[in-house]
Amino acid sequence: MGEKQFWSKALERSEQALNCGALTPLSTSTIELSVASAEQFELRQLNAALPKHHRPEGPKPNPFLPWDPQLEIERIHNHHVLILNKYPVQRGHMLLITQGWASQTDWLQPEDWRALVQVDRDSTGLWFFNSGPRAGASQPHRHLQLLPRHPGECICPRLSWFIERLHQPSASTGSEELIDPLFNNCAIADRPLSSDPDEEANLLHDLYRSLALRLGLGDQFSQQPPAIPYNLLLTRSWMALIKRSQEHVKGFSVNALGFAGYLLATDRSDLAWLQSHGGEELLRQVVPDFRGSTDALS
């Protein structure tokens, strides 16, 4: 476990894909936030136009059926393949996709978890999943994403928030309980581990179903597809699901990485609003039950 062969192969393949033009890293610049909890966010400004797959207009051909062989890292079992993200947010940014068609909006299946466990036992890090367009998914073909991490490396800027949520079932203020929408729309639990990969995959699938029920997404045996869009974040320590109400606000597109603390600004983004209100306020406006003024939404 932890030999990082997939990560090493991803880095090697990245160099080859860059040289032949198959890989297109996003050019960004860091912007410092100057509001409360600014340390929990990493804000970057995109230095070029959005890639075509992120633009709302026009048809979107499926780039995964077939996938670009120049981005392929490894076939995983019989149903999945590990490839490079064509538009990586860091070196070694990987996608675990189904070899055949499977919808991004449907429930994750046991075979998805088995493939994830095989990759994760070698190259772990921050896994994330966007359950559809309203949760920030840019492609309808099923794909889980992995940002690999070294041992001891901080998993994401908002790690402390998730650790707090893990040990604090609800947030309250004074005698009147005021549930923070971010807390109210996040279900999190310790991640189960096992020496047996099949058992671990089954445990992860069971936990996923349990968190979905807790959030009111339904159960995959009785509710098709999930009742509400969601994001999933997974580390070696915990799994979290977050309910979503909309994909964007104030010109910012928010996917699972936004809740991990990674924000991307484009020429459509209202940076002045973000500098005034902060990243957590941005996240509150893309989950259900936001109680702020409606004129804050865009």
Give the pLDDT confidence score for residue 3 in this predicted structure.
85
Mean pLDDT of 187-193: 97
Contact 230, 131 (CB under 8 A): yes
Q: Are strands 42-46 and 94-98 parallel, antiparallel or unpaired?
A: unpaired
pTM exceeds 0.85, yes or no = yes
The DSSP secondary-structure symbol of 203 reads H
Predicted confidence (pLDDT) at residue 29 exceeds the cutoff of 70:
yes
Any idea of the CA torsion for 222, 199, 256, 170, to the nearest 10 degrees? Answer: 80
- The stretch 101-113 carries a mean pLDDT of 97
| Bond from prior residue into 66 cis (ω within 30 degrees of 0) | yes
Angle at 166 between CA 178 and CA 209, to 5 degrees: 100
3-class secondary structure, 45: strand
CB atoms within 10 A of CB 190: 10
> What is d(CA 56, CA 248) in angstroms, rounded to the nearest whole number?
12
Residue 292 in this model has a pLDDT that exceeds 60: no
Rounded Cα gap, residues 115 and 119, in angstroms: 7
Confidence of residue 51 (pLDDT cuts 50, 70, 90): low
pLDDT at 63 over 60: yes
DSSP code of residue 56: S
Read off the tokens for 126.
């921050």
Check pLDDT > 70 for residue 34: yes
Q: At residue 260, does pLDDT exceed 70?
A: yes
Residue that is written with structure tokens 């136009």 in the block? 49
**How far is residue 181's CA from residue 173's CA, in Å, rounded to a whole number?**
13
Q: Which CATH superfamily is domain 5-296 in?
A: ATP adenylyltransferase (3.30.428.70)
Strands 262-265 and 42-46: parallel
| Mean pLDDT, residues 105-128 | 98
With a cut of 70, say whether residue 57 has pLDDT above it. no
pLDDT in tens, 118-163: 999 999 999 999 999 999 999 999 999 999 999 999 999 999 999 9
